[in-house]
Structure 1
Amino acid sequence: MNPKKQHTKSLHEIAGISLPEIINSKSANQVQKWRKKQTSSKELIDGILTGDIAVLSRAITLIESTNVSHLAQANEVITACLLHANKSVRIGVTGVPGVGKSTFIEAFGKHLTACGKKVAVLAVDPSSTISHGSILGDKTRMEELVKDANAYIRPSASGETLGGVARKTRETIILCEAAGFDTIIIETVGVGQSETAVHSMVDFFLLLKIAGAGDELQGIKRGIMEMADAIVINKADGDNIKKANLAKVAFNRALHLFPAKKSDWTPTTATCSSITGEGIPEVWQTIEKFLELTNENNSFVEKRAEQNNYWLLETINDQLRSHFYNHPEIENLLASTQKAVQKNEISPFAAAQKLLKKYFKD
């Protein structure tokens, strides 16, 4: 063989270099055995309630599983943890990609742990619509917070869920609360899709902005702005401080044009720097004022009750959708029906009615 044609790929092993030996083969084998071991519901529940992070992570993996055989055990664990949940403040953090969400959450999280809080960060990473893969790199971005003993970071792929919220994030919140975390931060993929999902599972909705993102007219556009409980202009440092302050004034004017919230809370605007830490303590002070007001007028409890009802209906919709597409008869008919629709042999609406009629008849 011609030695020049031996390696046709850019990645190859150089001859003479052997793979490094495993430092501790016994430990590696123990880890592999532990991963393969089927953990009982009682072991998962007990581990969560004692704050065992490894068990918590394993339980979250269980409830995120799309394997139907895992559903019963996942529901058993969630039901047991419900008795120990609902004792935290849930904060949603959103903003366009590049606004500095991960950097802000790390600085904010470090401030909270310094105040004696136990913080769980549920970071939702975007999934590729082509490969369906996800980088899950938030732990890399939050390299200081991930080492904090009072913090837990769990990245999850958004999958096909609109708004960048993983399908099981709502249940993950319950497990984290049962594990003793009193502050839950949910980082979304970013603005652009429906953010209703994250808004319906948090107590306080924080919108991060950057200077130069728009004027007052941009600010009064309904949607994400209307849902925000506070707007924070990030990256207010160096030469950007003046621009950030101008943006704060513009957004503050825009907020006054929105109708009053049911909680009687008036949304606020502020600036901060995730690099220098300037303005970070004030963000938490704002959230504390919000919690004080909403607990006094009982809107905090009312909102939680509304959210529970919302997720009841969402779960029903989700289960119906899953059951429909996994129905044997529908699976057999769907491909041929789709081809008929593509060839204009039947309208999409008539085809849908045909499939639904078949589903409900069976």
Structure 2
Amino acid sequence: MKFGSHNIALYNNSKAFRITLDSVLSEGLFNNAKILYLGAESEFTVLKKILLDRESSIDELLEVKSLELIETTQSYLKQGTFDPDSSIMFLEKAVMDALKEGFEGLCVAGIGTPILESGARLEKLLEYEASVNDLVEEFPIAAICLYDTARMDRKNVLEISRLHPYVHRTGEFSMNDDYCSAPDRDIEFDIASRLDICRGTADSLLEMFKIKSIYVEAHEVNVSRLAVAIADEMGLDSFTKVCIEMAGKIHDIGMISLFLDMISRPGPLHSFELKLLQEHPRTGFELTKRVPFPDKVSNAILQHHERMDGSGYPDGLTGSEISLEGCILAVSEVVSAMSFYRPYRTTHGVKFALAEIAKNSGSLYHAGVVESCIAVFRKGFSFAENSTNY
């Protein structure tokens, strides 16, 4: 175990749990790391017994701040609810505090099983675990996530484990390269995580939409690529970027409900046709909700035509009512659409599109997203084909 590592420790009895905690203490103290343990008060007694065996005093370690014990209800589950973003912010503050106190970094061990038992959705926990992978790359943290497999669904164990590069086995931390492929486990279909399934579904829906699509360019792929580039420029976590990638590919899937001649003929739409068109984000939302896509995917699809001032559709949302993913998709969609030919207008090009979003930054489009979009083009981003770039 080392700084910059994200580890998982699976146990199903008290002996295995004690061995894991003993390893955490050994590694943390050896590397001059502050040890932060997040768990139940009843589990703190196990730490005390381990320290007694080491002829160490838990009170001494607490006094010099080498060890800090925080109950789950004061860390992961404040007010009984689990919020991935708040949990990541909690860890960021903890490592900064450890550095200020003179430690080399933070060794944090947390019991994850109570999060699922609190009623939190697995999707939220996976989002958190993916964010921890990003966190350990940025800060001197060694994160050890402990899960009691005796209290968990086996499929959940597999999905969670896949997000950890390192695993604790027989008292040591090693590469997690064979947990899901061990020949003595009959897992077959279960080795595909929910995100893998959703990404495959998004690709299939994209191919289906292309059959009916009238776009002469790879619009959906362009939107997806630009949206991911913007998210990367904004420093968003890997889970959010995967969600944005999927949403971009199928953001217009709701248009399969429209008449083909309606969206392919030149000239303005009739009033009733305009109403139908403005429902396509909601249709896409309803279609994707039938698949276990993360909420960030479905919500971004629903909101990709909303505008900051409330002039968008289908719900006329304003400001913070629109998710960041929806704001990113909105800007990406506008820039991609304006850069190419449409039956009802000539090609505008990328320069025109970027000038349009810059002019309406903060009024129609999220200012931070606009700034990041312009930045990625300055750094060399270009659309896949037939685009009028710089």
Q: Name the TM-score, length of structure 1 as normaliser.
A: 0.32
Q: TM-score, normalised by structure 2?
A: 0.30
